[in-house]
Amino acid sequence: MKIDKLVVASHNAGKIKEIGQLLAPYHIEVLSAGDLNLPDVEETGVTFQENAALKAEQLSALSGLPCLADDSGLCVDALNGRPGVYSARYAEKTLSDGEVVRDFNQAMERLVGELKETGNPDWSAHFSCVLAFKMPQEECRFFEGRVNGKIVAERSGDKGFGFDPIFMPDGFDKTFANFTAEEKSAISHRGRAFALFIKEVFETE
C-alpha cells in the first residue's frame, strides 16, 4: 500500500518539523495531531514502546490514516535513568491560572541541580526513541534508536528543542543545540529510529 499521507501523533512543533524533514524525500504529506484536531493521548505506559503504541493505535483509529508515534526521552545514569519516559512531564509547570505548560529551561536547571546533588562526577546519559508505526487494520511495528552522551552543566546552543542544550553526544564537543537539523538527524536517537523505519517501510516495497 502506497503511503502519501500520515499523521504524526504529536502537538510538538519541533518534533513535527524534524519528522517532516526526514520524510521529505518520500513526498509524504505529514500532518500533526493538531492539524486534524485530534486529542493528546495520555501516556500511561511505563516504557517508551508502550507509550508510542498507545498514541499510534488511538490516533490511527480516530483518523483512519497511517499513524507514526514516538516516545522518546533522556535517561541519566546517575539519576537511575530519570527522567526517562517522564521527560516531557519533567518540564511541566502550572501557571497561576491553572494552565499547565512545559518549561525546558526550568527542567534543564532542575536536572543539572539534581545531578550536582548526587555528588557523582559521571554525568553519562543517553537519548532513546521508539517509533510505533500503525497502518489501519495492521499491527504496530516498532523501531528503536539510541544515542549515548553526557550532560553538561552549562547550556549551549539555540537549535533543537527540549534538553538539547545540555546533551553532548559521544564523539563531539558540542551539544545537540549546536547541530543543524541535518547534522542532528544523522546521529540522533530519532534519526537512527527513522533510518530503520524508512528502510523497512519505504525501501523494501
Q: pLDDT, tens digit, for every residue of 146-170?
A: 999 999 999 999 998 899 999 999 9
- What is the model's pLDDT at position 156? 96
> CA 69, CA 125: separation in Å to the nearest integer?
23
Looking up cell 538539547, which residue turns up? Answer: 164
CA distances from 92 to 8, 49, 161 (A): 22, 22, 15
Average pLDDT over residues 95-113: 90
Q: What DSSP state is assigned to residue 114?
A: H
- Count CB-CB contacts under 10 A for residue 42: 10
- Count CB-CB contacts under 10 A for residue 46: 11
Domain boundaries, the chain: 5-201
Question: Three-class SS of residue 75?
Answer: strand
Locate 169 and state its grid cell: 553526544
> CA 159, CA 179: separation in Å to the nearest integer?
7
Q: Model's pTM, two decimal places?
A: 0.85
Q: Pick 203 or 127 by higher pLDDT.
A: 127
- Count CB-CB contacts under 10 A for residue 59: 24
Question: Residue 52 — pLDDT band, cuts 50, 70, 90?
Answer: very high
Tens of pLDDT, residue by residue over 109-135, are 999 999 999 999 999 999 999 999 999
> CA 18, CA 34: separation in Å to the nearest integer?
16
Cβ-defined contacts of 154-161 (< 8 Å, 24+):
155/108, 159/184, 160/14, 160/184, 161/12, 161/14, 161/15, 161/104
> CA 63, CA 42: separation in Å to the nearest integer?
17
Tens of pLDDT, residue by residue over 20-43, are 887 888 888 888 888 888 888 888
Would you name the residues annotated as active-site residues?
Answer: 71
- Count CB-CB contacts under 10 A for residue 156: 14
Q: What DSSP state is assigned to residue 164?
A: G
Domain 5-201, CATH class in plain words? alpha beta
